Amino acid sequence: MIVPETADKIKSMEIRGAGRIARAVAEALRDHALALPARDPGAFRQEMERAAAMLLATRPTAVSLPNAVHIVMAGLDRATTAEEARAGVARRADEFIRSSQHAVEQIAQFGASHIRDGDTILTHCNSEAALGCIIEAHRQGKEIEVFATEVRPRNQGLITIRTLNEAGIKTHFIVDSAVRSFIHDIDLVIVGADAVTVNGAVVNKIGTAQVAHSAREARVNMIVAAETYKFAPRTILGELVRIEERAASEVLPDEIARTLPYVTVRNPAFDVTPAGYIDLIVTEKGAIPPQMAYVIIRDYLGWGIDEFHLAFGPATLNWEE
């Protein structure tokens, strides 16, 4: 049951944020593997692939999801018994969850060092990696203030301001469209990422690109806090990260929409900020310029161009496949 339940919670956004989604998926695959009755390794693998496919179909943009599935399922085809396969899934899932939590802590340390005493920081959406940097800077005794956006239509900004408030950090809550009005009060923008492409572009909550544009115009630095499993291997082969478009009712209630037959709501959940707008991406391996994204994909995720062609051939380019 755990896999359908987790899939439903990710779809409904009860579980949300790229890092949390990745850990929830690893946990669901582990628990599923442990609960599967012992069978031959082929049947075990098939059942695990079915479960993985259900989880992969939940939300299309956060690359942490397929990366987590790939890491947890690695080597399943080499197991000679179902027992060995089960133990392998459980071990890799636990390792992934541990290393993901450690990555967020490590990013907080690196990211905090980019925050100076007296800085006012702007953040958009609710990223545990980005908030980790801010909270760590505060913990180190730096006098900081934060501007947090509302994040229409799902209001993830409310989660952000509660977390900042609990940490005792002075916070200003603003509507998304007020970013440009306050940008001259900001010293640094810090956001998270759902995906980082091979050319260093960052896919994050809708509105991030507008924030980046305002920051660039005002010469305010922007840093992105992103674990290495947010980097998108398949962009090496030219695949684009799919931007999720969510239900119209999140933006306009159905009863109003029904009265406006000429109006169509568009509700993309994410947008793409080009590398040129980003000063640094802070990963658990250290801070890199966005242009170094390929190195992360090759050296830390283990996906070079050659490995891709060996594993899949150039024809299989979709996450769903």
Active site residues: 125, 194
- Judged by CB, which is closer to ligand RUB: 62, or 296? 62
**320 to 144, 306, 317: CA distances (angstroms):** 43, 21, 9
What's 74's DSSP letter?
Answer: T
Binding of ligand RUB by 205 (CB under 6 A): yes
Piece in contact with ligand RUB (CB under 6 A), picked from 79-87, 188-196, 233-241, 283-291: 188-196
Q: By CB under 6 A, name the one of 3, 29, 125, 241 that touches ligand RUB.
A: 125
- Judged by CB, which is closer to ligand RUB: 130, or 297? 130
Q: Is 151 helix (H, G, I), strand (E, B) or coil?
A: coil
Strand order in the sheet with 270-273: 195-196, 202-205, 270-273
Q: By CB under 6 A, name the one of 3, 6, 7, 19 that touches ligand RUB.
A: 19
Q: Are the beta carbons of 72 and 29 closer than 8 angstroms?
A: yes
- Residue 217: half-sphere exposure toward Cβ, Cα within 13 Å: 12
Binding of ligand RUB by 128 (CB under 6 A): yes
Binding track, positions 43-62, relative to ligand RUB; x by CB under 6 A: -------------------x
The crossing angle, in degrees rounded to 10, of helices 64-73 and 18-35 is: 30
Shortest reach from residue 81's CB to ligand RUB, in Å: 36
Q: By CB under 6 A, name the one of 17, 66, 88, 111 that touches ligand RUB.
A: 17
Question: What CA–CA distance (Å, rounded) separates 130 from 281?
Answer: 11
Q: Are the beta carbons of 84 and 24 closer than 8 angstroms?
A: no
How many amino acids of this chain bind ligand RUB (CB under 6 A)?
17
The residues of the shown chain that bind ligand RUB, judged by CB under 6 A, are 16-20, 62, 125, 127-129, 156, 192-194, 204-205, 269
